[in-house]
Amino acid sequence: MRALSFALGFVALSATSTLADPLVVTATHENTIGVDGAVVVPVGNYANVATVGVGALARIEVPAGAGFFTGRAGVIAHASRVDSMLTLVPLYAGYRLPLGTSGAYLAGELGLTVGFATVDTPFGRMSASDTELGLTLGGGLKRGALDLRAGLFAPDVNNAVALIGTVGYDFAAF
């Protein structure tokens, strides 16, 4: 009888502590390769020179800790307010941190932005290129292969700020 009481007590305590443990759902983290379509709306002095820009960015994400290391590179072409063209080539690396299990996340990236500009003058066409430190800060929602992101884009952290929105699709996971 004493052994039976001990066994029942042990089972009851085991069940109680097991039921008290929170249920943790873990998702598999995979390396992903995707592409993002981007729309850039300049603000401030940047808006005095360029209007809306559109482009495409290649993206890679690698699991690291609670989130993902990211790399994005692409081309963003701007319409201009004068007879000129502005093309930006961002080459950025950063980190994406998921917020819970809803698919929401925060992300930040830092890297180089190569800018190419041309302008038509009475003396002919002139062009220039420059490389500056750039960054993005924002948040988004990732659902399966679909990735929606919005935030700040600074192709030149000293002079230019814009709003950026991207719609991405992961086409490979490994």
Q: Residue type at 70?
A: T
Tokens (6 digits) for 32: 């992903």
Mean pLDDT of the chain: 86
Domain boundaries, the chain: 30-173
| Cβ(105)–Cβ(94) below 8 Å | no
Tens of pLDDT, residues 113-138: 999 988 888 888 889 999 999 999 99
**Structure pTM?**
0.79
Tens of pLDDT, residues 17-31: 444 444 444 445 789
Tokens (6 digits) for 133: 């430190």
Residue 47 has pLDDT above 50, yes or no: yes
Output the pLDDT for position 79. 82
Pick the residue with more confidence: 32 or 14? 32
Count Cβ atoms within 10 A of the Cβ of residue 166 and give its class: 0-12 exposed, 13-18 middle, 19 or more buried.
buried
The region of weakest confidence among 39-48, 118-127, 165-174 is 118-127
Provide the pairing of β-strand 104-121 with 67-80.
Answer: unpaired
- Out of 2.40.160.20, 3.40.50.300, 3.40.640.10, 3.40.50.200, which CATH number does the structure's domain 30-173 have? 2.40.160.20
The predicted model gives 149-167 an average pLDDT of: 95
- State how far the Cα of 116 lies from the Cα of 128, in Å rounded to an integer: 6
Count Cβ atoms within 10 A of the Cβ of residue 29 and give its class: 0-12 exposed, 13-18 middle, 19 or more buried.
middle
| Cβ(59)–Cβ(69) below 8 Å | no
DSSP class of residue 29 equals P
Tens of pLDDT, residues 78-112: 987 778 889 999 999 999 999 999 999 999 999 99
Q: Indicate the pLDDT class of residue 71, thresholds 50, 70 and 90.
A: very high
